[in-house]
Amino acid sequence: MSIRSMSWALARITELDVIAPGLAGSFLRASDERRQVLAAFLAVEGDRRPPDQEVAQILKRSRHDALLHLAYGDIPIGFRSALGRAGRSIHPKRFYRYLFLVLSTRGEHRSHDVVQQLPTLEPSRLRVLRALPERLRAARLVALHRDVTHARETAELYRLLTDIGADGEALAKALREVDTARQLSECWRRWSWRVRFPEPPVPASPTYAPVTEAAELKRLALRFRNCGRRYLADVLEGRHAFAIFCSDAGEAVIHLRRREERWWLKDAIGRRNLPISSALRREVEAHLAHHGVERLPPHKPERGPWDVLREVSNRWEYEDEEVGW
C-alpha cells in the first residue's frame, strides 16, 4: 500500500493518534475492509464533525456498521461489502462519497447492482460507471472500458446512433451482453450498418440511385471494390453522400462532398476506383449540374462529432465479401 495514496487519511489519523495513542498503528495494520471503512468515515467527517476526542474513540472502538451509520446515516445495501472490495489503497475522499451515492440511487438499470457485481472497486471503475448512460450500466460493460475516456466515447456513439433512429433499448441490450473488447467492437460495427442515412442531396431518378442506408454503402463498396464503406461516419454526419449513376455510357460510383452549406461532386469512378469514360463523366456532371452540384475545388479536411465512429471503424477488419444487387 502506497503511503502517498493514503496521505489525506493518514494525516488525519496521525492527528487523532495524539489523543488516542496506537490509533495510527492499528490503522496501518488493519484489514483492507477495516481500513476502507475508516477512510469512508473520515471522508465525510467534516460534514458533521464531532470533537477530536470523540472521533478518536469512535474510530478505535466502533464496529464497521456502527462507523458507517454514524458517518452516513441510513446505509444502502452493499455499501460495506463494496468497501471490502475497494483494495488496500486509500482512495480520494470523493470516491467514498460517490460510492455511497451510487448505492443509494435506484434507476431503470440500478447502478448499485452493477457495483455489487464488480469483483474489485476503484475510482476508475466508478468514473466509467458514471460516464455511461443509465441503460448501459452493466458490470461486464463497465469492466470492458479501460478508462473514463473510453466510456465517454461509448456514451457519445450510443447517443449519435439513437439520435438517427437506432432502437435505444435494443442497442443497449446488445451492448450489455458483450463479454470482450472484440465483441464490443463487433456490436458497434453491426449496429452502425443498420441505420438509415440523412436525406440524399440529389433525388433518385432512372439513371441516379442514391445510397440511403448504411448496408447499401457496404454493398456498393464490395460490388465496386472500393473504400466507400470507410466513409460511413462521414455519411452519417452529413458531410459525404454516395450514389450509382447508370446509363448507356456505363456505370459509375458518385461521391458527393458537402462544404460551406452546399454539395459538390468529389469524384465519379468505376470499379476498383478506375477512371470512367469521358462520355459517362459528361453525363454525370450534366445530371448533377441540373441539381446545382458542381465539381469540388481543393480544400483541407474538416473534423466533426462523428469522428468517434470514424476512428473506431478505421480499426475494423473488413471481410472480402461477394454480394449482388
DSSP per residue, 35-86? HHHHHHHHHTGGGG---HHHHHHHHHH--HHHHHHHHHSSPPTTHHHHHHTS
| pLDDT value, residue 47 | 64
Q: How confident is residue 131, by pLDDT bands cut at 50, 70 and 90?
A: very high
Q: Which has more confidence, 314 or 157?
A: 157
Residues in the chain: 325
Closest-CA residue to 281 (of 290, 270, 273): 270
pLDDT tens digit sequence for 153-165: 999 999 999 998 8
The C-alpha atoms of residue 187 and residue 126 are separated, in whole angstroms, by: 23
pLDDT tens digit sequence for 75-118: 988 899 999 999 999 999 999 999 998 888 765 556 878 998 99
pLDDT tens digit sequence for 27-85: 999 999 999 999 999 999 876 667 888 889 899 889 999 999 999 999 988 899 999 99
Closest-CA residue to 146 (of 132, 125, 126): 125
Q: How confident is residue 25, by pLDDT bands cut at 50, 70 and 90?
A: very high
| pLDDT value, residue 191 | 94
* Residue position matching grid coordinates 475494423: 316
Whether this model's pTM surpasses 0.85: no
Beta-carbon contacts of 126 under 8 Å, excluding residues fewer than 6 positions away, are: 95, 98, 99, 102, 115
pLDDT tens digit sequence for 248-268: 999 999 999 999 889 999 999
Q: 297 pLDDT exceeds 70?
A: yes
Beta-carbon contacts of 145 under 8 Å, excluding residues fewer than 6 positions away, are: 128, 132, 151, 154
